[in-house]
Amino acid sequence: MKFAVLIIEGPYQHQASDSAYHFTHAALKKGHEITGIFFYNDGVYNATSLMTPPQDDRHISKRWSELIQQYKIDSIACVAAAKRRGITESNLAAGTRISGLGQLTELGINADRLITFGD
């Protein structure tokens, strides 16, 4: 099955980002395809390289970046949401690019299911 993943919550607000990560990782391990990950609204904070959590805490953007690069997943941060939050190409985590909502539409069209994480 092909899944697209939409994340609309920030990394440390609720469990949405952690749940999305674990879902994506498990789906890939089971042989499913992830057509792409789209970070939207506060979800774009998951894709910033500016994150520096305490040493004993999980580093969410690093974790996402490693998974995205390992499996060569198309990862997109919404341009409008990113600009509103001061996120630019220069401070994106490795493996993620900035683009518009048209990319989210394409991900949904090319997937069997679009899974949304967050409120």
Catalytic residues: 78
Task: Write out the E strands in 1-119.
Answer: 2-7, 33-39, 75-78, 96-99, 113-117
Q: In a 3-state reduction of DSSP, which class is residue 116?
A: strand
Rounded to whole angstroms, the Cα distance separating 77 from 96 reads: 7
